[in-house]
Amino acid sequence: MSNRLSEFADLYRLSGPWCVAYVDASTGTVDSLEAGDAQPENVRDALAGQGASKEDLDAIEQAIRPATGEPSPISRFVLVREGSAVINELLPGPLAVPERISRDVVPDLLPLIKHRPDEFAYVVAEVSRDEGEIQLRRAGRQEADSSDHVQGSGENLTKVPGGGWAQGRFQHRTEEIWKRNADQVVQEIDKAVADSHARLVVLAGDIRARQMVAEQLSPASKAALSVVDSHTLAAGSDREKFEAEINSLVARQWADEQQQLLDRLAAQEGQANPESATGTGAVVRALQQAQVDVLIFDDQALSEHTLLALDAEPWIANSEEESLGAGVLGRVPAPAALLRVAALTDARIQLTPKAALPNGENIAALLRWPTGPEVPAES
């Protein structure tokens, strides 16, 4: 599963400075409540010491509030520019990287991306013979993107046992009503899949309703379909068990897709003109040419490395000599620079442990077109 950052491209084109606060927002204990009360002022003081403007300090102090009523652990990510909170998000789970309070020349979205390992969209559909609940969700987010309720006809919902011509007509009419109800649910599922490019459809509910919906789905929805054998809309159904099954399906899909990327990378090794690059130098050169399709790196291993952030194309460089005439904004942590150039060149990113990459490298990329042959050195 890889993440496309194009939604942040416009933000990355804006000039700084940027104030970032990535903090624990949990309120589960008396100690955490007391710490939460002091947190806005502590964040303000830390950024004041880094030279932040009064407008930015006011905005970030206003945004930093304990997440009262939210399940712990939970984290908060705030990004402020020109006195306005551009991003203010509560992120389920503990801090994914160490707490960060900083004033930067480019926005560092690594904490946000670590909580959203993928823009992996999936559809959860719960159906009965007369209704359906369809949710569009994204991995790593608490709230559903959208939720639709389909209410079909409840007429003749139960087939009455018996025989004869009249009874056959009654049962046929009942089947037709069920199919029409299922068709309404199918339309919502197919629309959600098409709009979001969802790669997983989880279908649960009444067994006959599930069958009817599954039969009528579009090819794209069928290709992503996983059926859970549970009538979740029935009274007394086990919601916790159902959510656990959904999480398991999402995790399995994520692992499969991550392995497919690494398999693609491994298959390029030894090729005369590979559609891949490994190592910081080769990957940065490919990024400068907008050649990277998927950028794969270990953010922890690169956390002590820096790269130059540029104010125009090619957006990134190892040294000033490679800036190709663009202005140098500053030397920034490599993960922040890499996420920025990925967004600006519409590359997908995959964060992965170093051990998963070939030859002990920290960074690699799958390319949109192959690298050229080696130019022989002049003798």
Element (H, E) at 281: helix 280-288
The count of other CB atoms within 10 Å of the CB of residue 174 is: 17
Q: Record the pTM.
A: 0.75
Q: What is the pLDDT of residue 121?
A: 87
Question: In terms of pLDDT, which residue wins out, 22 or 268?
Answer: 22
Q: Which strand ranges, in their side-by-side order, compose the sheet holding 3-4? A: 3-4, 348-351, 292-297, 363-367, 276-278
Examine the pLDDT at 71 and tell me if it is beyond 90: no
Per-residue pLDDT, averaged over 212-234, amounts to 89
Q: What share of the chain is helix, strand, coil (3-state, %, to 5)?
A: 40, 25, 35
Q: How confident is the model at residue 352 (pLDDT cuts 50, 70, 90)?
A: confident
The label of the residue with tokens 């599930």 reads 210
Q: Quote the strand ranges of the chain, DSSP E.
A: 3-4, 18-24, 74-81, 84-92, 100-104, 121-127, 131-138, 146-151, 200-205, 225-227, 276-278, 292-297, 306-310, 316-317, 328-333, 348-351, 363-367
- 3 state SS of 74: strand
Examine the pLDDT at 378 and tell me if it is beyond 60: no
Q: Which strand ranges, in their side-by-side order, compose the sheet holding 146-151? A: 146-151, 131-138, 121-127, 200-205, 225-227
Examine the pLDDT at 170 and tell me if it is beyond 50: no
